Every structure is written in structure tokens, then in C-alpha cells.
A and B are shown apart, each in its own frame.
Chain A
Amino acid sequence: MKEWKQAFWLAGTEWKNFSKHAVFTYTLCLLYIVIVFAFLPIFEGGTTIVGDILFIVIFLLFPAWIKPKESHVQKISGEIWASPSFIMLQQLPIRKNVIVKSRFIFHSFYSFPFQLTLLLCLYILTPEVRNMGFSAYLAFVIIWLAISIYIGFFLPTSDGGDIINWKTLLGSSLFFILLGAAILTLFHAVLDVGFVEWTIRIAQEFPLLSAIVSILLAACGFFYWPRSLKKTMEKLDYL
């Protein structure tokens, strides 16, 4: 409990320093959302691949974009890339567990408010979502917030850094692009349904089951990612 308290204090103090920046970027993001969902008909007649990509990118990556650039992973020295904020915390008398927790809390300060707004906008702006019914919409929100944890928490995990050169960079970006393409193709070609559309459907058909499975997956992510960050932190040489 003491660890959580200190982690919250650290994340809060850091967030306060960037609050002006956060308000600005947050407003900008809202504007994007409204434009995308109000004027581009990406959900009409089931989601298209472009619609899927657009939604997933906005949902998962915009929070990182709202974050101040000091917390973004960048070149520290040689081939070490990490978040400068993370390096700063490491040199202060803070337990590793607390540093790890504070990174996830700091990320959540940006991700959850934004993602909730996005899901709310979706409700207001797209008829497909509005017509789901309340319990289905609730399940839909849970599905996506869970994704924000078991996939999205990859972002604060990456704060810990890695050894990056053009080979690893090329390798990992190819891997993620191919993986993403494979999953989306699977949905579109095999199931004949967009990914976002599919989450709407399972939320409607199995609201309880999809919510429970999502929460379980989120719990896994909640335990897995911080451990992964701590491991990186112990393994990597921040020289």
C-alpha cells in the first residue's frame, strides 16, 4: 500500500509539471476524434480495414502522443533507448517496484481519461454503437478498456528501454506490422467482419462472458507488464 501511495505521488508530481501540455494535447485529440467519427463514415456498414486501423491507432497510441515528449522512449546513450523520466527516477532513492508502478499510473493518467472520452464520443457520434443497448455498451467499454491494459500497457513497459539499433528496430517494427496485418486480415477475410465491428457483436451477443474474459485478460496484463518492466530494469545496463 505504501508503495502504491508513493507511486501515485511520483506520477502525480510528474503529471502536474506537464498539466498545461496535457490539457493542450488532450483538446487537440478530442478535435481529431470528433472529426474522424463525425465526418468520416468509417463505421458505415460494418468497419473497414482502414476504419479498424484508424480506431486502434487512435485508441492505443494517442495516449502516448498526449504524454509529454520527456516520457517518450528516446536515445539515452549509445544504443540505449529509454524514457528520460524513467532514468531520472532510477537515480533517486525509490524502490524498483515503486518506479515500475509509477510508470503505469503516469500512463493511466493519460490513457484512461482519453479512452473513456473516445468511447463516449463513439456512443454519441455513431449510431451502430448507440443502438447496442446499455448493457452491451457497458460490455463494449469493458472489452476496450481491458485491451488498453493487456495490450496498451506495453507502452509504459517500454519506458524501461532497450538496446535499439536499426536491425532490432526494423525487426520489431516488421514483426508488429505483420502481426497486426495478420490479425486484421484474419477478421476481415476469414470471419468477414471488422475487428471493431466484432467487439460490438460479441458485446451484444455475450455481454457477460465477453466482459468476464476481458477482465481476466486485463488482470493478466496488469500482472504481466509491470513484471516485464522490472525485469528489463534489472537486466539492462543504463550506461
Chain B
Amino acid sequence: MKPFVEITQVKKKIDNFHLGPINLTIEPGTITSLVGNNGSGKSTLMKLMMNLANTDSGSINLFNQNVSGDEEQWKSFVSYQSQKMIGWDAFTGENLKCFIAPLYEHWDEQLFQRIVEHFAIPLNQRFSKLSQGSQQKLTLALTIPRNTPLLLLDEPTAYLDIPAKTHLMDILVEWMDQGERSIIIASHQIEDIKKLSDYLFVLRNGEMIGNFEKEALTERYKRYWLRSELTESSIPGEVFRDRVQVVSNHPKETEHYLQEKGLQWTNQSSLDLEEIITLLLSPTR
């Protein structure tokens, strides 16, 4: 199976902001979270993938087609939900569906109706008249049933209430189970990242920190409580220190070093994904 997405050495400069170089491959059947602080370039990356902007260098291939090339079939294999749906304001939900559904070969009307019913979305109101939460619900109802192999969601849950968030996850899990599909989701919601993602693609101020498998990341970080404060300025693997507490992202090296020096630790624990993300995104790493 060929990868759905292949991003190679992509760079983009916008005023003083530099994105990249980005390398990312998305395999079928995976969910990847784009994780990064505000303004780290997550939305820009998605827009580059949708060919809504041009890259300065590097290439983006979706379904084996260069997105900025003349071939445009790849567009039929991707559904994109941007943070703000531009141009939807004057349409009612019903009219938007009339516009969008016929453009997708595998549109799932039943799923659309189910989501609309569950979220109680009024289809006869103009998009602009809906609350932010309802707008987001309607957008999801008009995006997921497109049934394209690849789904790009840019902060889809920012305005959703708690039950809706839970329900959305069930919908996405069910949706993923129906075939060779993949999701790329940009989110600041730790629940989305924990429950949905297989991979975390981490961006910090436009710089690619890495694409990590979730467990590989949680297994890599360990926290040690030492008997006494360290005198060394820095020890192997160390990424954070607070008095007798040391966090390492190379536990083996750290433990080896501590044992060699005869330093004992009273306790050790793993880190929460939230803490790990915070460490990855903190500027003084």
C-alpha cells in the first residue's frame, strides 16, 4: 500500500515566519495529530497540503500526485475542514449539502443524517446564524460523510461541548474502521490527541521536532527523584530538572550514568502525554 501523503523537504516563508523543512509520510489506516503551540504552522501545513498556497521548496504528494501539478484527481480523495469555513455564511445547512454532496462519489447520506440528528443541527438556518458550536457540528456533518480516504481536520473540536466531543470520537473511530482511511488532525485538545492519534507530528514555531509514535514517546520519558541534588550542570538524557527531580528522554543513558556515579534515585515514574508535549514545545530544550 502506497502512502497517502508524502511531504518532502517542504519549506515556506511567510513574513518573518519560517516553516520547515517538513518531512512527513502518512500511511493508510493511521491517525496523526499535528501538535504545536499557537502559530507553529499547523494550519499553514494543511493549507499547503490542499494547495491553497505554494511551497517555497520541496514537494507535497497526495495519492501519488504532486498537489501543485496539473493533475487534480487527488482533490477527490481528501476532505478538508479549515478552522473557519469561508464562504459558507449565506448558505443554509440544507443548501450546503446540495452543493457539497454531489461532488463526492462515496457521500454517505445516512451518516450525514445521523450526525445531524444526534447533534440536533438546524439545517434550515443560515450558517452565519448558527452558534460557533453548531457551525462546527454542521461542518463536521458536511465533512466526515464525504468518505474520502484522507480527512484533514483543523481544530475540529475547539467549540464543541463535552458530549459532542465524546460522540465525535466514536464517529471518527467507526469511520476509520470502515476501510483504508487516514486522518490528520490539528488539535490543542489533549483528549483528541490521547484517544485518537497513533502518531504525533510536533511543530515548534515552524520547526519540525519530529513525528513520533504515541507509545514510543510516552515510553521514552522518565522522571527520577534522586536522594540529593545533582552537582553536575547537565547529565545524559536530561531535559528538565527541578531540585532532586530529573526528567530524561533517554532513560537508559541516564540510569547508566547515575549508576556509574553511584547516585541513587528513590523513585521513578513515567510522564503524562501533556507533560511530554509541554517539554517538547518549551523553547529551552
Q: B245 CB to closest chain A CB, in angstroms?
A: 42
Interface residues of B, count at CB 8 A:
27
18 pairs from A and B in contact (CB 8 Å cutoff): A14-B99, A17-B91, A68-B90, A70-B90, A84-B86, A86-B87, A88-B88, A91-B80, A92-B100, A93-B78, A93-B104, A94-B75, A94-B103, A234-B54, A237-B52, A237-B53, A238-B52, A239-B52
Judged by a CB distance under 8 angstroms, whether B14 is at the interface is yes
Judged by a CB distance under 8 angstroms, whether B61 is at the interface is no
Give 9 closest A-B pairs by Cβ, nearest first. Answer: A88-B87, A84-B87, A237-B53, A93-B75, A87-B86, A93-B76, A238-B52, A70-B90, A84-B86
Residues of chain B with a CB closer than 8 A to A87's CB: 86-87
Q: Is the CB of A13 within 8 A of B86?
A: no
Q: A80 CB to closest chain B CB, in angstroms?
A: 10
B residues sitting closer than 8 Å to A (CB atoms) are: 14, 44, 47, 50, 52-54, 68, 72, 75-76, 78, 80, 82, 85-91, 95, 98-100, 103-104
Interface of A is mostly: helix
Judged by a CB distance under 8 angstroms, whether A213 is at the interface is no
* Bound-state Cα–Cα, A17 to B82, Å: 22
Q: A15 CB to closest chain B CB, in angstroms?
A: 12
Q: Is the CB of B72 within 8 A of A96?
A: yes
Judged by a CB distance under 8 angstroms, whether A5 is at the interface is no
Residues of chain B with a CB closer than 8 A to A91's CB: 50, 52, 80, 82
Q: Is the CB of B86 within 8 A of A88?
A: yes
Within 8 A of B (CB), among A91-147: 91-96
Q: Is the CB of B99 within 8 A of A13?
A: yes
Residues of chain B with a CB closer than 8 A to A76's CB: 86
Q: What 16 additional pairs, Cβ within 8 angstroms, besides A13-B95, A83-B87?
A: A13-B98, A17-B91, A17-B99, A18-B90, A68-B90, A76-B86, A85-B87, A88-B87, A92-B75, A94-B75, A95-B75, A235-B54, A237-B14, A238-B53, A239-B44, A239-B47
